[in-house]
Structure 1
């Protein structure tokens, strides 16, 4: 992690290029992905997100994969069966999910969203602004859940 939370946290590939920036907003946490993303990157990032969620609970996640590429479908079993229950237990209630235009990333995302839908409020978008508006307008402020 490149910075102390609540400053934005960046995760990088060994070569130094940033693949994820996690930012704390007043009512949600934002995960903004960029560049080529692998299943290992997804798992690493999900573990970091859980750690940050424990420090500063937020019921909402804006997961923005607009600038991401790559097939990371191999991470979806772990995300569904390991990560999601822990995230829900830690207070996550809703995810606004912004698709990448990259076909491989989009297919990985669609598979994950289908898996998560029965367990959490999740909605997919092609536009970040619409995703943020949905997330903020459809769910109560975090202080209502103990903040």
Structure 2
């Protein structure tokens, strides 16, 4: 059985699951998210990643609205150096159709790409295919 963590609020529902058969974490975002949601989830993921040391992360924001760009500084300067030490090498991000999500995700990709291969997708199937490759590239 997969380990699942979830947070609910008046505006969002976020779940984090370790998928043993794929040896990756899957974060599913729903609702209207903000920077606080992103930072809280990233902190919890880091705790779980310290135990499991998975090289891959699938972050699915296909069903969200909201702006989370303010979290990018924290993700770049606080989170990424720590998570890099735990072995994260590949991050697949499934984007929302919200224009704010695209620009924020592109900014995050630019910021953390030197430490981690990041790929952006508009559908979960493409993200899973990329992340399932022995050595994802992009």
Q: Does 1:47 align with 2:68?
A: no
Q: Does 1:93 align with 2:86?
A: no
Q: Which runs of 5+ in 2 are unaligned?
A: none
2:58·2:127 contact (CA, 8 Å) conserved in 1? yes
**4+ runs deviating over 2 angstroms:** none
TM-score by length of 1: 0.84
SS in 2 for 1:67: strand
- Pick aligned residue for 1:69 from 54, 65, 81: 65
Give the CA RMSD over aligned residues: 1.7
Larger relative strand fraction? 2
TM-score by length of 2: 0.89
Equivalent position of 1:22 in the other structure: 16
2:18·2:25 contact (CA, 8 Å) conserved in 1? yes
Aligned length: 134
Further displaced range: 107-116 or 33-42: 107-116
The offset of 1:18, in angstroms, is 4.4
Q: Which runs of 5+ in 1 are unaligned?
A: 141-147
